[in-house]
Chains A and B, each alone.
Chain A
Amino acid sequence: MANWVPLWLHRLGSPPVFYRFAGAVRPWALGLAIVLAGVALYGGLFVAPADYQQGDAYRIIFLHVPSAWMSLFIYGAMAVAAFVGLVWRIKIAEVVAMESAPVGAAFTFITLVTGSLWGKPMWGTWWTWDARLTSELVLLFIYLGVIGLYHSFEDRRQGARAASFLVLVGAVNVPIVHFSVNWWNTLHQGSTVRLLGPSHIETSMLWPLLTMMAATKLYYVASLFARVRADLIASEGGKGWVRELLAGRDGDAA
């Protein structure tokens, strides 16, 4: 009945098919992401009313929270791809896992910087050793470790497999770090900062947030596909389909 779904996924595992599919999807995803981000930012920065407590500074939420969601979402996607790549040895899954890491690191970095820029006027400090902030910093280190391990191997596939294993180790580690930092904070009773008070969110604030979330998701798809295409050209350089691509359309199209 729904037999075509697994069949289609199976075909997508082949590098040339994925290359063409990614090339077709990427411009649409990127364009839609830019449009949605523009709408969301207009709604968030100009239309939504100022917060009665935080004034206009809360508007950073429209950049900060979607980025924070993406930093975790991309790690989840990367962990799934890494698991699939390790278990079934599907090359595309390995490439997807490895090329997700830089995008995830970018979003984690944005989360940390925008969080600091939000914290400075609100709490008077740009950094506090809170469980969420520390976990996010640790997440950035894991992303950097994955990228570093991948690039330290001469053989790309071997590097991808080793780094995929590190991704799975990190997936176990992040919740443990979060828990231990929480425990540590109760021990030290230092600066207990409430990050988000128990406030219900207005519709005029909610829709830009959700739109921005969709935009960052689409952006991830676009960036990931561009990266996978660049990676496939290098790693499949000797194969016939890449040569046909070069000879056929001069390489810049397709």
Chain B
Amino acid sequence: MNASLAMGAYGFYVWSSVAVFFIVLLIDTLAPLARRRRNLRELRARIARQENRRRPGTPPSNESNA
């Protein structure tokens, strides 16, 4: 097992290739998930702001029919 992990004399090159492949693709997988979560959070905050603006005072007349 140890011998096959060493890849002859080329272990460094083979395993760095594997590492580069997975690190780049891991970043590529996580980036859109984080972006989606951020977008959802911002959207939720925006909706909450709009709700707050509508609720506490008197009901605004220009949006009552919306």
Give A residues with C-beta under 8 Å from B: 30, 41, 45-46, 50, 55-57, 59-60, 63-64, 67, 99, 102-103, 106, 109-110, 113-114, 117-118, 120-121, 219, 222-223, 226-227, 229-230, 233-234, 237, 242-243, 246, 251-252
* A219 contact set on B, CB distance < 8 A: 25
Contact with A along B16-56 (1 / 0, CB 8 A): 11101100110111011101100110011011000000000
* B44 contact set on A, CB distance < 8 A: 246, 251
A60, B24: Cβ atoms closer than 8 Å: no
Say if the beta carbon of B66 comes within 8 Å of chain A.
no
* B18 contact set on A, CB distance < 8 A: 41, 45, 63
Secondary structure type dominating chain A contacts: helix
* B40 contact set on A, CB distance < 8 A: 233, 246, 251-252
Closest B residue to A102 by CB, please name it.
B28
7 further interface pairs, Cβ-Cβ under 8 Å (given A110-B21, A230-B32)? A50-B8, A57-B8, A57-B13, A106-B25, A114-B17, A121-B9, A230-B36
Closest B residue to A64 by CB, please name it.
B17
Most chain A C-beta atoms within 10 Å of own C-beta, residue among B7, B14, B29, B35: B14
* B25 contact set on A, CB distance < 8 A: 106, 110, 219, 223
Min distance, Cβ A39 to any Cβ of chain B, angstroms: 15
The one of B8, B21, B31 in contact with A56, judged by C-beta atoms closer than 8 angstroms, is B8
A237, B43: Cβ atoms closer than 8 Å: yes
The one of B4, B10, B24 in contact with A55, judged by C-beta atoms closer than 8 angstroms, is B10
- Sort chain B's interface into a size bin: 20 to 34
* B43 contact set on A, CB distance < 8 A: 233, 237, 242, 246
Give B residues with C-beta under 8 Å from A: 4, 7-11, 13-14, 16-18, 20-21, 24-25, 27-29, 31-33, 35-36, 39-40, 43-44, 46-47
* B16 contact set on A, CB distance < 8 A: 117
B24, A226: Cβ atoms closer than 8 Å: no
Min distance, Cβ A216 to any Cβ of chain B, angstroms: 9
Min distance, Cβ A168 to any Cβ of chain B, angstroms: 24
C-alpha spacing A59/B44, complex, angstroms: 48
* A109 contact set on B, CB distance < 8 A: 24
Nearest 5 A/B pairs, CB to CB? A230-B36, A56-B7, A57-B10, A56-B8, A226-B32
Min distance, Cβ A41 to any Cβ of chain B, angstroms: 7
Min distance, Cβ B9 to any Cβ of chain A, angstroms: 7
Say whether, besides A45-B14, A55-B10, A230 and B28 are in contact (CB < 8 Å): no
A223, B28: Cβ atoms closer than 8 Å: yes
The one of B7, B29, B35 in contact with A30, judged by C-beta atoms closer than 8 angstroms, is B29
B13, A117: Cβ atoms closer than 8 Å: yes
C-alpha spacing A94/B35, complex, angstroms: 19
C-alpha spacing A113/B27, complex, angstroms: 16
